[in-house]
Every structure is written in C-alpha cells, then in structure tokens.
C-alpha cells in the first residue's frame, strides 16, 4: 500500500540508524506534595510563580527562558528560546524586533506557545494562547531599563535578515556614534513587547517509568491568569 503524501517511507530494520548515544534519565520517584487537581491553586499564576521560585532556588541558569513557538500564515512552524520578562494578570510578556521572523509570523498568525523547560528539577510549563502587542509606553519603559549595548543592538540589528559579521559591527559602530554616551537611547519603532494571553497552561512533572504528572488549566470564562473563577483544572494522561 502506498504511503500518505509527504510521509517517510518505511525502512528495512537492518538499515535503521542507531539510537542516539545518550543516557536515559529516570525521573523523580516521589510525587510533588500538593500537586493534585483539587489542591493546586485555582488560578495558574500562583503555581507558575511558585515553580519559577523553585527553579531560581535550584540555581538553574536563566530560569525565565522559554521556547517560543509561532507559525506563519501557511502553518509553517518555527521556534526559538526567548527570555520572558514579565508575568502578570494578562499573561506572559516578551520583547523583540517586530521585523524578525517571529514578528512577521505573529502579524500573520497571532497565536503562540511557550515552553519553560526546567530539566534539572524535572518540570515543564507549557502555555498556549493568543498574542497581543503591549502598549508602546510599556515597551519604552522596559527598553529604557536595558543595558546600553542591548539598546544599540536593537537599532543595529535587522533581526532574521542575512548579514555578515563585518556589516553588523559597522552598524553597531554607526549607531554608537549617533547616540552620544550619557544620553538616553530611544526605543526604535521596529521594536516592542508582546503578551501571550493563555488559553491553557499545563504543568508537567517527570515521574518514574515515564508515568508523568500533568495538570492543565483551561480558561473557561473571561478573566486574568490570577482569577480562579476563569479557569478549570484537569489531570492529563502522561
């Protein structure tokens, strides 16, 4: 029987590629105390903040880093690591160049997923929802808090476009000369913030034999991620 269009044809077992030579890690053997549907907080923000604090206490590098997945108008996906800079009642906020690949994809298809992967403590948090731009005043306030080098980089980089290192260094030097030391660097029009407004937030804990614990919050009514009345909770199969 012919395979479906676009599927990879079956291979002879003898010709199969060997598995990657990586160690198999067994996850936690004991459950996290209180990680039950009827015990966790009624709104997801409280549990997220508690888990983020655990990741910080464990000394994980950049615990606010998350994989941001987007897709273009044809459904072609892409993903990259981002730093989530703020979590509030609206959702999860990050900042970037509007002309980047992710910026173009969000303009065409304003939906995204975030994945916080705290591997050392065997936990993940997945967020899915619509994406909105933050008000310019909020983006400007955050931009003003960035180091000068990062501010200059936002002006110099045409993010996701082809460039040589020499061209990039030349642009940085030109921008550095344009904004004298000691004077504020304004936020460029092509840069700003977004917020992922969650429709689901899933908390995952690694367990033995891959029988992982998963609890999903699902939005069922209008309200922020701090409003317990706006969310239902359920356990998902591993």
Give the residue among 93, 78, 77 at the shortest CA–CA distance from 198. Answer: 93
Half-sphere exposure of 238 (CA within 13 A, CB side): 10
**Residues 211, 227: Cα–Cα separation, whole Å:** 30
**Residues 218, 103: Cα–Cα separation, whole Å:** 26
**Measured between alpha carbons, how far apart are the two ends of the chain, in Å?**
33
CB atoms within 10 A of CB 48: 21
Beta strand extents in 18-85 (DSSP E only): 65-71, 77-83
Q: Which positions are catalytic?
A: 210
According to DSSP, the β-strands at 92-97 and 86-87 are antiparallel
Nearest 5°: the CA angle 89, 110, 102 is 105
Q: Biggest alpha carbon distance in the chain?
A: 71
**Residues 82, 86: Cα–Cα separation, whole Å:** 12
């Amino acid at each position: 029987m012919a395979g479906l269009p676009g599927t990879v044809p079956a291979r002879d077992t003898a010709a199969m590629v060997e598995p990657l030579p990586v160690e198999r890690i067994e996850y936690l053997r004991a459950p996290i105390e209180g990680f039950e549907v009827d015990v966790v907080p009624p709104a997801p923000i409280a549990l997220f903040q508690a888990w983020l604090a655990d990741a910080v206490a464990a000394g994980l590098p950049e615990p606010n880093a998350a994989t941001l997945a987007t897709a273009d108008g044809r459904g072609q996906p892409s993903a990259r690591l981002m730093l989530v800079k703020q979590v509030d009642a609206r959702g999860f906020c990050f900042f970037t160049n509007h002309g980047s690949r992710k910026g173009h994809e969000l303009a065409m298809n304003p939906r995204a997923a975030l994945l916080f992967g705290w591997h050392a403590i065997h936990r993940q948090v997945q967020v899915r929802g619509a994406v909105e731009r933050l008000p310019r005043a909020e983006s400007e306030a955050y931009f003003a808090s960035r180091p000068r080098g990062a501010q200059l980089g936002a002006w110099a980089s045409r993010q996701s476009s082809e460039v040589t290192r020499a061209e990039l260094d030349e642009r940085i030097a030109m921008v550095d000369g344009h904004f004298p030391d000691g004077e504020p660097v304004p936020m460029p029009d092509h840069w700003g913030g977004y917020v992922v407004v969650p429709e689901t937030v899933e908390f995952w804990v690694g367990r033995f034999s891959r029988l992982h614990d998963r609890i999903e919050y699902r939005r069922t009514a209008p309200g922020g991620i701090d409003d317990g009345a706006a969310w239902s909770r359920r356990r998902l199969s591993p």
